[in-house]
Structure 1
Amino acid sequence: MLKKLLSTGNHNSSTSFALLLLRVGLGLTMLTHGYPKFLKLIEGNFQFSDPIGLGVEVSLTLAVLAEFLCAILLILGLLSRFALIPLMSTMAVAVFIAHSDDPFATKEKAVLFLITFLFLFISGTGKYSLDQKLFGKRSF
C-alpha cells in the first residue's frame, strides 16, 4: 500500500511533462489561497470559518496545512499522493459543507480543484517529481 502511494505512475515523457505543468500550476494557484491564511495564522488572527465544528483555530490550521504546505509539496512532487489527501479533503469541505447552499458559480473553483486533485491522486504525478527521484525507478 505504501509503495503504491509513493508510486509516480508509469508515464511517458510527454505525459509526465503535462503532469508536471498541471501539478505546478495547480499548486501555485492553491498557494494564492493558502499564503494569506498562513499569514493570518502567523499573526494570530483566527478570524476564520468553522465549517465542520472543530473550532476556528483548528479549522484555520488545517486549511493552512492543506492550502500552503501541501500545495508546496505538490509543486515539488514530494509525497504527492499524501499531500493530495488534505487538499482533496479541504476542497470537499468547501464544496459539500461550506458552500453547500451557494449557487454552483460560487463553488465552481473548489469543484475544479477537487476534480483535478482527484485526477492527480489516481494518475500519479509523473517522472518529473521528487517522488520519482527519491523513491525511484521501481515498478509498483
Structure 2
Amino acid sequence: MKKNWMAALAGPFLPDAGMLFARLTGALLVLHVHGLPKLLHFSDELAHIDDPLHLGRAVTLYCALFAEIVCPLLVAAGLLTRLACLPLLFLLGVSMLLVHPDWSIADGQFGWLLIIVFGTIAISGAGRYSLDARLRLRA
C-alpha cells in the first residue's frame, strides 16, 4: 500500500521541528535587527534611546541589550527558553504600548509578530530539539 506523504510529514518530529524553526528565526531576527546594531552603535543608541519607564537611558539600554542579545541566544539554543522569552515579551510590550502607542497595527506589525512568536515559544516551550530537552533527559 502506498504511503500517504502527508501522513509521513505529520510524524511526531514535526511540531518540534516547527518550534526549532520559530526559535531560531525569531531569535536571529531580533539579534540581527535590534541587538547587534545597538551593541555596535552603543554611544549613538545611548544618546537617542527612549526611556519610557524612567530608569535612565543607560539602564534602559543595558536592559534592551540583555533582552535583544542574551535572551535571543538562549532562545535559539533552547536553554531556559520560557524564562528567556519573558524579557523579550516585556521589551516588545513596552515598545509597542509605551514607546510607539501612535503606531497602527500595520505600522507595528513586526513588533506584534515578534510578540506572537515569542509568546508561542513561551507557552509551548522549546521542543525536543533544545538544550532544555537534553538537560531534562539527563536529570
> What TM-score does the superposition give when structure 1 sets the normalisation length?
0.83
| Map of 1:80 onto structure 2 | 81
Retained in 1: the 8 A contact 2:24–2:76?
Answer: yes
Distance 2:136 2:52 in 1: 37
- TM-superposed CA distance for 1:38, in Å, is 1.9
Alignment of 1:52-71 (within 5 A): 52-71=53-72
Please give the per-residue CA displacement for 1:18-74, whole angstroms capped at 9, x wherever unaligned.
110111011110101111112234x58612111221111011111100011100111
The RMSD of aligned alpha carbons is: 1.9
Greater RCO, CA 8 A, separation 6+: 1
Distance 2:22 2:15 in 1: 10
| Map of 1:119 onto structure 2 | 120
Retained in 2: the 8 A contact 1:34–1:67?
Answer: yes
Aligned length: 127
- TM-superposed CA distance for 1:105, in Å, is 2.3
Q: Which stretches in structure 2 are left out of the alignment for 5+ residues?
A: 1-11
| Map of 1:14 onto structure 2 | 14
Retained in 2: the 8 A contact 1:37–1:64?
Answer: yes
Paired amino acid for 2:25: G
Does residue 29 (structure 1) correspond to residue 24 (structure 2)? The answer is no
What percent identity do the matched residue pairs reach? 34
Distance 1:56 1:80 in 2: 27
> What TM-score does the superposition give when structure 2 sets the normalisation length?
0.84
Distance 2:95 2:13 in 1: 34
The change in CA–CA distance for 1:46 and 1:21 in structure 2 (over 3 A counts) is same
Distance 2:117 2:53 in 1: 23
| Map of 1:129 onto structure 2 | 130
- TM-superposed CA distance for 1:16, in Å, is 0.4
- TM-superposed CA distance for 1:121, in Å, is 0.7
Paired amino acid for 2:88: L
Distance 2:15 2:71 in 1: 23
Q: State the structure with more CA Rg.
A: 2
| Map of 1:9 onto structure 2 | none
Distance 2:55 2:21 in 1: 35
Distance 2:94 2:41 in 1: 20
